[in-house]
Amino acid sequence: MQVHKGHRQRMKRRFLEHGLDNFDDVNVLELLLFYADPRRDTTPLARALPDQSGSLAGVLEAAPGDLEKIPGIGENAATLLRLIPEVSRRYMVTKTPETEPVETAAQAGRYFLPRFMYQREEMIQALYLDARRRPICCRELSRGVVNAVEIRTRRLVEQALETRCSAVILAHNHPSGLALPSLEDESATRLMKDALQLVGVELWDHVIVAGCEYVSMRESGLIR
């Protein structure tokens, strides 16, 4: 126990003094697991996790149920590991200025990219803008099994009226694909654009996100 305690203290001090730059992936996982299992030697488990999940990213992005199937991983460890990408996304979202106008495709891309970080299922979000293109709020329209286009469109119009916005930017992700709009994306976008126009609201853009990349339908000439 004293050996483990001394090792843990050295690892923590090393991180506090130098950060993670001189840690390999096993060291990173070992350090994290200290806080899920305060007594056991976590080195063997830290070495086994990347073998099971393929990489550090695979470990951190694995579903909690999949993590708990790995021998030695309990609920505490699975929860802690899943917290890392979730907290990272929240951190990046909070760094996005909420008061600056969103007037270009690049600004829209920067706004939405962190909101889709590490998402494993498809989701659609809508950013509601005032007359000066400043964000009023950003809301989720659907997640997972995508709702019927008509339902999403009705919800979009209701929220646009509720927020008294002047314009909307839509965004959705392709978790396992490319940041390219499909024919279904184009058709749904036209429907939502027409519905918003009926209540005097502009659909300014629709951004498709995949990983660290995005495509603006406005910039691509698909929204005029």
Name the β-bridge partners of 128. 137, 168
**Domain identity same for 73 and 115:** no
Strand order, beta sheet including 202-210: 135-143, 123-129, 167-173, 202-210, 213-216
Q: According to the model, what pLDDT value does residue 200 have?
A: 97
Q: How many angstroms separate the Cα of 14 from the Cα of each of 8, 19, 38?
A: 10, 7, 18
**Domain identity same for 126 and 86:** no
Q: How far apart are CA 50 and CA 208, in angstroms?
A: 30
Give tens-digit pLDDT for 3-23.
Answer: 566 888 898 999 999 999 889
Per the structure, the count of domains in the chain is 2
CATH code: domain of residue 101:
3.40.140.10
Q: What is the mean pLDDT of residues 160-180?
A: 94
Task: For residue 222, tell me if it sits in a domain.
Answer: no
Phi-psi region of 124 (alpha: psi -120 to 50; beta: other; left: phi over 0): beta
Q: Hey, which bits of 19-132 come out as E strands?
A: 123-129
Q: How far apart are CA 224 and CA 208, in angstroms?
A: 17
Give tens-digit pLDDT for 61-108.
Answer: 887 778 888 888 888 888 899 899 999 989 998 887 778 899 999 999
Mean pLDDT rounded to a whole number for the chain: 89
Task: For residue 223, tell me if it sits in a domain.
Answer: no
Q: How far apart are CA 33 and CA 189, in angstroms?
A: 45
The boundaries of the domain holding residue 167 are: 97-216
- DSSP code for 68: T
Q: According to the model, what pLDDT value does residue 142 have?
A: 87
**Domain identity same for 207 and 184:** yes
Give tens-digit pLDDT for 147-162.
Answer: 577 888 999 999 999 9
> What does the longest C-alpha to C-alpha distance in the chain come to?
71
Question: How sure is the predictor about 146, in pLDDT bands with cuts at 50, 70 and 90?
Answer: low
**Domain identity same for 113 and 165:** yes
**Domain identity same for 114 and 207:** yes
Task: For residue 101, tell me if it sits in a domain.
Answer: yes
pTM: 0.82
**Domain identity same for 123 and 161:** yes
The separation between the first and the last C-alpha atoms of the chain, rounded to the nearest angstrom, is: 67
Q: According to the model, what pLDDT value does residue 53 have?
A: 79
